[in-house]
A and B are shown apart, each in its own frame.
Chain A
């Protein structure tokens, strides 16, 4: 499906506040409610608008430590990526798994309750993941910009 400027305008306003009522969204995007819901239905049917997810603030749940682990895999084994990702999915403290083209192969976003807990997770769950050749950690200090808005 081809999207037009009206679709993009609608998504831009929806992205800014996904929970807003349809009437409010339609008013902001300068269209009728019927048009707004018809267009959203079309975007959903085409698989462009895949859904909405609640954002959980893990710090508020007592998970104080967030670390980005950048991992290089031993790619001499053709199953390195598949094995590693399957094993990483089994670690509950892993929030995100991303694969890359570049210096880094995989990145894991890992949370822990505090530094002592992080140490435990790191030693018992992360370093035991298969095919790790090299690994470096970035400790998360603050989110300066978030929301992952698309510049539509």
Chain B
């Protein structure tokens, strides 16, 4: 008989509630409002559960829930540790934002159900120990993500983004499995002088695995193909929820393993990946001719900067990482929502073919502009706070990289301005009066776009809520002390 304790661990619910919500959302997919409601309730319940400290027992009648309780599954452990709790909240809240934005901006029949399954898997990936199983969870999430990226699109070459995402996530798997084995062997090494050498391959394998999962290696990987092909909110979801979870897993590794934190090779590798990803996004952003590509460049720049922040061991850098993930959900979510509205009407996101569309859909244009400018770091948006935190960290250590980051922001801004000029330009004569007539999105879609845009600006002007959360996340880690 398996021993069952009097209370149940919260980790069980963190995995099961999104899965149950996914099933509900799938069954309710004909009724979009109910589907979205099921998804939001699922995320909200888990956030409420995790808002309690890890030492708390929640007195649910007949079913007390221990937030920090352990769940042993097939000999592995799932636990909500104190350092994992708030990162999980950020991941779930980001999913909540993106799923909420999709309420009136449909992203495909499977968006909510599959998104929730992915959410459940990445949450399991953050909580599971030993970490080798996190790699398996992320691989399973990647398989689901491939279906999500593809959605209902058909045709040759339409599967490139999904294929790349799946293949690159699969390539990360052996790196994690190999690292797990090397760590197991290195534990047998007792001589302190030999230990660092024993752990060295594991550190490098982990760095490579993280870089692959984050889309930094090889350059120009899934990010651009996915941003071009997938629904914009799907891109935002993957970039925020999955990549955010990977980022927090990286921080957890730094917290747990001294050899990983202290490895100069890992530091150099992550620095190289970060700078090149940032450079790639910055160099090509200004010249793009479609919003999908601008979205991809925004993603590259943001991922690059987060990788650079992960290389620092200061409270400010961890705060910047946590803030960046939360802000990315908002910025990319609002950008994606606006782009989704435009794409669904016009069937394109090319600047040239969207000429004048911003006049007909001003709210969509506003959401795109604010979301993209926020990633670029425009003052008055939530992204500016992220860049400010980044500058605080980089100005003390690496002025060149700081300048590259700022210039990458300018490059994105330039690309966004080009797109906006096209959106707001006078429609061409041959398109007739229909292209000039004002048109209106549905109330729900308009409200989503407007609310998202307002939140991006409000959190830019008063970032206290997110800053408090980021500070709390940073204080839960001790590796920089």
Partners in one complex: no
